[in-house]
Amino acid sequence: MKNWTVGVPDRKTVSGLVFGCQVSPLTAAALAAKGYTTPESVADSLNVDGLSDPFMIKDMDIAAETINEAIDNEEKICVYGDYDCDGIMSTVILFSYLFEAGADVVYYIPERSEGYGLNKNAIDKIRDDGVSLIVTVDNGISAISEAEYIYECGMKLVITDHHQQGDTLPRAEAIVDPHRHDCPSGFKHMCGAGLALKLTAALDGGDYTLAMEQFSDLAAIATVADIVSLTGENRFLVSEGMRLIDNTDRPALLALKKVCGLEDKEIDSTSIGFGLAPRINASGRFGSPRTAAELFLCEDPDEALDIASELDKLNTMRKSAENDIISEISAMIDSDPSIIRKRVIYLSGKNWHHGVIGIVAARIQEMFGKPCFIASETDGEVRGSARAFGEFSVFEALTYASDALSKFGGHPGAGGFTVKDGMTERFGELLEEYAAANHEIMPLLSLSADSPLTPAELTFQNVEDLKKLEPYGMGNEQPLFYIENAEITEIRPMGNGSHSMIKFKFGTTEYNAKMFRTSPDMLPVGKGDPAKMIVTLGINEFRGNRSLDILVKDIRPQMFEQNRFFSAQRSFEAMTRGEKLPNINYYKHMFPSQKEAAYVYRCIPEKGINPERLFIKLGAQDINYAKFSCIIEAFRQLGLISVSSAGQFIMKNKVTSRSDLFSAPVLAFIRQVIG
């Protein structure tokens, strides 16, 4: 469960934005929530109408001169990319430009098994192919030893990258990276493909006309996929690129749109992020990144459709592998709930596909609101990915646990690691030690609504006006709105049953809303319940019909008190971890009477129920959530109930004999503490 915050934008600021930006009050509230206080600040960040001079980036002039000289001298050039969407699009952009310019050019994209960036085996292959100049895209800034090796092999190197500079710069003719400490460029948030596009403009003397016409579509896809800031120049680049995709004659995009079901739909950042980009990324996760590159270099429509269909199959494999791992993890948690009661969720499995464990870590974090470290053992090697949020730092945690690791890297929000042989269990212990030492109270995963929504504001005109804020992405997230006192009138399964369609009455009008990855059984509300929710708003157009598109991000009963809930949850989990609570009263408030436990048991319907919904249904003020959790855990330990789907659903078991409630380990422990 997430911690909700609801912003209340300053009325004076909202009024100023309404008149100064010519937007609706709903759009103005969303802008104010993002920190914009004046029309001028909105224009500076969101109304960018072009890209800055490419030569403002340090070494861009030297890079262009070096490459043009190689073309003139008929030297062989290799564009060296990366296996993710940004790396693939970057490679296609620069390779295509150089090929059309008459260069003797090849490209190399390492397979995922080779690892990220330059490697010596690849450099040997490139040298043996007669290459004299390597130009990196989306990598290279940290390749210190590999750069030296390139020069030892008699080749030259130009680096274009958008990742952070380390203490030392690699040896190269030119290093084009806005994050260089000595780079004077004003905009620092380009992805690799955006820089590749700027490089093609620099090769053309600084003129963006050809670069934008040929490559803004590819750069837009990469910008959205790489989750870089969608403000400033990136906003302009993605907007222009989406218009190009909408009217494309590129065989690759026509084919990809077809397999994604996007042929007749207007392209936005969501359709890129959840439709086009995952299929490109799938080539690097489950096949070869060359497949996606070949698609975008292909000029035959039939061949393009064949390759796009192959990418679609790889993406289906990716989703299947992801769901299989999630199912295994759910089974682990069902059999051992202590996994999700720790400060940090750490799980390791055998032969989980390394191409998706990062995605799985993000999903598990989202499900349970805790930092998540997922590892997979393959051929005796345990490698993993981690995701975190708030003040918890993945990199600091991995540094603390480095005695158990042979390799690790990352930043506060994400990282990767390899566990030393025989140290898997110790690694988990060190993660818990780090969390306890540095976070007495663990950060809560938060969901922040920009503004409350009134029934009068939920109109087609207001929702249509929100489109002025698109494209959405990092730094310009889609607005979230808070709805309260909505009456749930109907809930039904959607798709294969794992999603929900929620009908609710808000004011005097009924609306339909969708909630993905949450089945009706998992919802904490039911028909007739008053509820509050956080939603996104859009317009759905289908066969000429328009309707409001309301997507529920989270939902809970109207009477739910989150501060009391999280406080009680922390106390219960701390007790189950063996941590000492502040005083004996905490334990006393958790210990139920026989009558209270019997009441909870009677309230569990035969068809089962979501635990949060059951807690609200009880309506007993003296059964706090910690006590309720102890009761549910006691029932589970005694076999009276099953807790399934990783704790989000409980169901009575068939019982043939009576059980002593207080023989359950959780209650026996509390009784021992309080005497």
Residue 1: its pLDDT value, please?
80
What distances in angstroms separate CA 531 from CA 97, 554, 613, 647, one per listed residue?
Answer: 55, 11, 11, 21
What domains appear along the chain, each with residue ranges and CATH number?
A: 54-213 (3.90.1640.30), 344-438 (3.10.310.30), 447-557 (2.40.50.460), 562-674 (1.10.10)
Whether 306 and 538 have beta carbons less than 8 Å apart is answered as no
Using DSSP, state whether 535 is helix, strand or coil. strand
Whether 650 and 632 have beta carbons less than 8 Å apart is answered as yes
* 615 Cα distance to chain centroid: 31
What distances in angstroms separate CA 99 from CA 78, 103, 159, 200, one per listed residue?
Answer: 11, 5, 19, 12
pLDDT in tens, 611-627: 988 998 887 668 999 99
Residue 107's CB: how many other CB atoms inside 10 A? 22
- Give the tokens for residue 338: 């202590």
Residue 91: its pLDDT value, please?
98
- Whether the CA torsion 318, 323, 328, 330 is positive or negative: it is positive
Short-list 277, 197, 292, CA closest to 240: 197
Task: Write out residues in the chain with pLDDT < 50, as ranges.
Answer: none
Strand positions, DSSP E, 141-267: 156-160, 174-176
How does 192-215 read in b/e, with b if 16+ C-beta sit within 10 Å? bbbbbbbbbbbbbebebeebbebb
Per DSSP bridges, beta strands 481-494 and 499-506 are antiparallel
- Whether the CA torsion 630, 636, 642, 645 is positive or negative: it is positive
Residue 62: its pLDDT value, please?
98
- Give the tokens for residue 596: 């209270």
Amino acid present at 550: I
Q: Considering the entire predicted model, what is its pTM?
A: 0.89
* 301 Cα distance to chain centroid: 32
What is the rounded end-to-end Cα distance, in angstroms, of the chain?
Answer: 33
Dist CA 374 CA 417 (whole Å): 10
Using DSSP, state whether 191 is helix, strand or coil. coil
Short-list 80, 91, 85, CA closest to 311: 85
Residue 646: its pLDDT value, please?
66
Short-list 387, 314, 326, 380, CA closest to 350: 380
Residue 497: its pLDDT value, please?
87
Whether 161 and 136 have beta carbons less than 8 Å apart is answered as yes
Whether 192 and 222 have beta carbons less than 8 Å apart is answered as yes
Dist CA 330 CA 353 (whole Å): 17
- Give the tokens for residue 344: 């940090």
DSSP 118: -
Q: Packing angle between helix 85-100 and helix 289-297, nearest 10 degrees?
A: 40
Dist CA 293 CA 297 (whole Å): 6
Output phi, psi for 490, to 5 deg. -165, 145
Dist CA 40 CA 573 (whole Å): 48
Residue 544: its pLDDT value, please?
74
Cα angle vertex 310, ends 307, 311, to 5°?
90
Residue 620: its pLDDT value, please?
66
Per DSSP bridges, beta strands 509-515 and 499-506 are antiparallel
pLDDT in tens, 552-578: 999 999 988 899 999 999 999 999 999
- Peptide bond just before 557 cis, omega within 30 deg: no
Dist CA 77 CA 161 (whole Å): 17
